């Protein structure tokens, strides 16, 4: 079956512009996560969605970052007024309803802010 | 605070040699531990996971890892490395429970280079 997909695969933008990154989770997966991977670094948790529960936004680095998810489907991560330090690969992952389960990762969106 | 440490940023081994990648974690509750591999241009792929039970877990591609609670470690091993194993390896701890959401805390990663 299809895995997690993300679009675009690459995004180059100018400082100060807004960007939207999209994630399509695996069908039937209720949990969805966003992570950020800066060059040469490990992944940092950003935000988590689980069904209709309130999202866990504890990892968002500033109020310029926001995310939405419609039901148990697509999620969009929005970065407003991008800064150069926002340059990174943004990874999305999904997992099933089980209390403890593996996360399946998408290929990521590489964001470059000039 | 929860954390994961991978002490080796970069490791080089010869093809056919054995491999051990180190991972130490700091977490007060029962740890759920993972090793992921990231090849150039590829997404993260799960190698293996430890949730409970046998502390020696087998994964894909001939990898195994041993959970040692007394040492707070979850080291990854492979008896004979192949050139295709060259990649970046990430250890992670999953935060579960009533107040946690299953988010993963990752180490900084270890880059594996394989010499012919």
Which tokens hold the place of B55? 């502390």
At residue B95, the pLDDT reads 82
Dump pLDDT digits (tens) for A16-68. Answer: 999 999 999 999 898 999 999 998 888 999 999 988 888 899 999 999 999 99
First to last CA, chain A: 37
First to last CA, chain B: 41
List Cα–Cα distances, B1 to A92, B25, B27, in angstroms. Answer: 24, 10, 7
At residue A50, the pLDDT reads 87
Q: Which residues of chain B have pLDDT under 70?
A: 97-100
Which of A29, A43, A69 would best serve as a mutation to test chain B binding (most B beta carbons within 10 A)?
A: A43
* CB-side neighbour CA atoms (13 Å) of B113: 6
Which of B94, B101, B111 would best serve as a mutation to test chain A binding (most A beta carbons within 10 A)?
A: B101
* CB-side neighbour CA atoms (13 Å) of A43: 30
Which of A42, A48, A56, A109 would best serve as a mutation to test chain B binding (most B beta carbons within 10 A)?
A: A42
Res. A1: pLDDT tops 60: no
* CB-side neighbour CA atoms (13 Å) of A40: 2
DSSP state of A62: S
Residues in chain B with CB shorter than 8 Å from the CB of A91 are: 43-44
**Closest Cα in chain B, distance from residue A43 (Å):** 6
CB-CB under 8 Å, B49 with A102: yes
A44 at B interface, C-beta within 8 A: yes
Q: Decide: residue A94, CB within 10 A, 0-12 exposed, 13-18 middle, 19+ buried.
A: buried
Res. A99: pLDDT tops 70: no
Q: Shortest CA distance to A107 belongs to which of B35, B39, B29, B18? A: B39
> H or E segment at B74?
strand B73-78
**Closest Cα in chain B, distance from residue A83 (Å):** 23
DSSP state of A56: B
Rg, C-alpha atoms of chain A: 13
Average pLDDT over all residues of chain A: 92
Dump pLDDT digits (tens) for B36-67. Answer: 999 887 789 999 999 888 899 999 999 999 99
**Closest Cα in chain A, distance from residue B91 (Å):** 9
* CB-side neighbour CA atoms (13 Å) of A44: 15
A33 at B interface, C-beta within 8 A: yes
Under a CB-based contact definition with an 8 Å cutoff, are residues A70 and A90 in contact? no
């Amino acid at each position: 079956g299809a895995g997690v997909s993300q679009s675009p695969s690459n995004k180059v933008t100018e400082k100060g512009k807004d960007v939207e990154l999209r994630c399509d989770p695996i069908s039937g997966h209720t949990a969805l996560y966003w992570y950020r991977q800066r060059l040469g670094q490990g992944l940092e948790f950003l935000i988590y969605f689980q069904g209709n529960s309130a999202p866990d936004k504890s990892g968002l680095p500033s109020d310029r970052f926001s995310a939405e998810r419609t039901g148990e489907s697509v999620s969009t991560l929005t970065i407003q007024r991008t800064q150069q330090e926002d340059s990174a690969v943004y990874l999305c992952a999904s997992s099933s309803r089980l209390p403890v389960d593996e996360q399946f990762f998408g290929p990521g969106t590489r964001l470059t802010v000039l | 605070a929860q954390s994961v440490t991978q002490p080796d940023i970069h490791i080089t081994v010869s093809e056919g040699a054995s491999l051990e990648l180190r991972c130490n974690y700091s977490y007060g509750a029962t740890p759920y531990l993972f090793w992921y591999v990231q090849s150039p241009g590829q997404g993260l792929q799960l190698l293996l996971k430890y949730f409970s039970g046998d502390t020696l877990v087998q994964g894909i591609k001939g990898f195994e890892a041993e959970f040692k609670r007394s040492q707070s470690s979850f080291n990854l091993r492979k008896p004979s490395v192949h050139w295709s194993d060259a990649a970046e390896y990430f250890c992670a701890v999953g935060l579960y429970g009533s107040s946690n959401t299953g988010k993963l805390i990752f180490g900084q990663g270890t880059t594996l280079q394989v010499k012919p």
